[in-house]
Amino acid sequence: MNDLFSLQGRVALVTGGSRGIGKMIAKGFIAQGARVYISARKADACEQTAKELSQGGGKCVALPVDVSTNEGIAALVAAYGRHESKLDILVNNAGAAWLAEFDAFPEKGWDKVVDLNLKAPFFLTQALHGALQGAARPDRPSKVINIASIDGVSVNPQETYSYAASKSGLMHLTKRMALRLAQDNIVVSAIAPGAFASDMNTLARDHADEVAKRIPVKRIGTDEDMAGAAIFLASRAGDYVVGSTIIVDGGVTYARG
């Protein structure tokens, strides 16, 4: 039981790991003993975060790549392969959003968001299937954790059509992938975050007190809240959680009705 949440000796790759939820997860993994690789589109931010998270004895390596295209996915897999041959934990976190009124919503706002939020998690997992299988054992499966959103669970007032659709689709994709990859000792699950301060969720970042009034527990999520959920799924503690999406939102989804 003492090692239930340990990630000692495991290797993780977190996309979109330079900031926000990805950074929270990467930091938590390192604290539990994992060796962590982070990818992000902006090289400077990726390198800076890796340097920050490596302080104190942990290991975080930056792999600055844009995974929104199959070419980018291939580049990330190649870059990762120059460091490691196996992968214990893949966190598909890189994401984008687009806000526009219904009559003005552009095709590029659909394609950009769906390609990154829904298409990329599938094809990156596919490309890393061999590395995940290489680390997987019946008594210690590899893990794939898809980062969805509560906006894929219930509808919010904002007109983020492609974002809501992509995150809902990602949760269903998680179930389908989980059934297939379980036979390879790879456990697939997802997290649906609520209000966490990030560059994507500027409302929670810049107006936390106001946002907190609409959350049953009266606060926005913290780094520890997100890291805790991800560590649970990535560790031995989450080995029997297959295909499920854990909602981490302080109860706001149920308050929406």
Separation CA 146–CA 194 (nearest Å):
15
Q: In what order do the strands lie in the sheet with 186-193?
A: 59-62, 35-39, 11-15, 89-92, 142-147, 186-193, 245-248
Find residue 245's DSSP bridge partners.
190
For the chain, the residue count is: 257
Q: Does 254 qualify as catalytic in the annotation?
A: no
Rounded Cα gap, residues 28 and 231, in angstroms: 7
Instruction: Select which of 161, 163, 240, 254 is catalytic.
Output: 163
- Which segments of the chain does DSSP mark as H helices, in order? 20-31, 43-53, 70-81, 107-114, 120-127, 129-135, 161-181, 202-206, 208-212, 223-234, 252-256
- What are the backbone dihedrals phi and psi of residue 45, each rounded to the nearest 5 degrees, phi first? -65, -40
CB-CB neighbours of 70 under 10 Å = 15
Number of H helices, E strands in the chain: 11, 7
Distance CA 62, CA 49 (A): 8
Cα-trace Rg, the chain = 17
Active site residues: 163
